[in-house]
Amino acid sequence: MVFSSVLFLFRFLPIFMICYFLVPRNMKNLVLFLGSLVFYAWGEPVYIFLMLFSTISDFVWGRLIEEYRGEDRSRIFLLCSVVINLFILGFFKYADFLLQTVNTVFGTSIPLLGLPLPIGISFYTFQTMSYVIDVYRGDAKAQRNILQFGVYVTMFPQLIAGPILKYHQVERYLQDRHAGMETISYGVKRFVTGLAKKVLLANNLGLLWQQVSALEKSEMSVLMAWLGIAAFAFQIYFDFSGYSDMAIGLGAILGFHFPENFNYPYIAASVKDFWHRWHISLSTWFKEYVYIPLGGNRKGLPRQILNILIVWTLTGIWHGAGWNFLFWGLWFALFLILEKLFLGEILKNAPVVFGRVYTLAVVLISWVFFALEKPGEILAYLQAMFGLNGVGLVNSKALFFGNEYLVLLVIALIACLPLGNHLVHALRSSKTGPAMALYRLGEKVIPAALLVLSIAYIVDASYNPFLYFRF
């Protein structure tokens, strides 16, 4: 079940919300837990037992770690939890990838397992791991109520697309929470904004990428190649950030406060800055639970470079079981290391526009590795981007697609910039009557219009891709 579907919007969500708000406060966790299980089990009911196993397992490990804190047994229990979680994630996500690699390298014909990937396994595995690690560190107390812990693991608003929640970020909301009308209103608007990002922008820009990527790379002009990867860059941003907005909005309606996950990443002035703005919950997770424990920047430059390579190797393969994702991660590692060595200082002293152009170029090239899986396809597309396929800068197809999608691309570009936020802030802080009236009108009319347009698109459109099957 996905948020941008008739099933979710007109069946699951209304029924769930009615049940949730009708029951007394001491039963809301039970309704949220059962509703989340239904949401998760709708498409793949068998894997619900895997999620329940992870929930019960880490609940027990957390209790044991706290009970024997300061003893060697506590460390053993932590190790057991981490090993079990990584084994589950590795088995379902990477088993076939490893078997394929072995078959390719050694010429064997070991049959693949063909197991479908449990949706959201990368997210809830990281959440349960962060919980037991925090309990071991003493940053959180072990949860004594398994229902509350179950809500933390299975919560459907952010289960399939994040943001990745650390236990201490939501601990107090698991015990007691309240959503007033102002919070619910904010949540509805935030959800509608995310829904519009997904169905009006991401889906339509995805159509452009689908058409461009299907073309023969040997016949693709430079403009066409850059137009296509720009479309994918917009698609993945509005899809990912749209789902995060919807999660934050749903969380607010239910009385939770989820952290922000995106902060206008395409205005970043360095690769380091980009990863402070893109999928913030993931980058902070790797920083807190991998980079810093490895030593971070405390053990000299050579060790720091090694730590960066390790973190970004893991970040790459977290996104998918394929060599292209490994290359994608290492691509970012390369530029983060260069910025650490000398490039960062150059960017600080250069005009900000230089840093933004450089970062955007690095990111757009990275999306080629992310979007295309076969090495031959990746190489051919990169050749087209830099005019090495002999086609030239522009051809008639590029002009056709550019004209057809020009308005949408301009809207997407504007939506990537904080201009809207600046305008809203200016109107809201203005003391003049017309400005306040315009702000109040826009606050009501724009979300309503976006909701109507989004629903119309969902009902009518046949193209509604789900990008999170890898996670």
**Cα separation values, 288 from 42, 283, 333, 393, 430, Å:** 33, 9, 17, 45, 41
| CA 53 – CA 65 distance, rounded (Å) | 18
CA angle 52–163–198, rounded 5-degree value: 110
Q: Hey, what are 72's tokens?
A: 């060697």
- The answer to whether residues 43 and 1 touch, using CB atoms and an 8 Å cutoff, is yes
| CA 330 – CA 314 distance, rounded (Å) | 9
Alpha carbon 285 to its chain centroid, in Å, reads 12
What residues contact 223, with CB distance under 8 A and at least 6 apart?
393, 394, 395, 398, 399, 402
Half-sphere exposure of residue 174, counting CA atoms within 13 Å on the CB side?
21
Contacts 24+ apart (CB under 8 A), 204-210: 204/408, 205/231, 205/232, 205/234, 205/235, 205/238, 205/405, 205/408, 205/409, 205/412, 206/231, 206/232, 206/235, 206/239, 206/463, 206/465, 207/463, 208/401, 208/405, 208/408, 209/235, 209/371, 210/463
Could you list the active site residues? Answer: 319
| CA 194 – CA 4 distance, rounded (Å) | 10
- Amino acid symbol at 348: K
DSSP state of 374: S
Half-sphere exposure of residue 257, counting CA atoms within 13 Å on the CB side?
10
Q: Reduced to 3 states, what is the DSSP secondary structure of residue 405?
A: helix
Nearest one of 195, 182, 208, 249 to 448, comparing CA atoms: 195
- State the burial class of residue 406 (Cβ atoms within 10 Å of its Cβ: 0-12, 13-18, 19+): exposed
- Amino acid symbol at 377: E
| CA 156 – CA 172 distance, rounded (Å) | 18
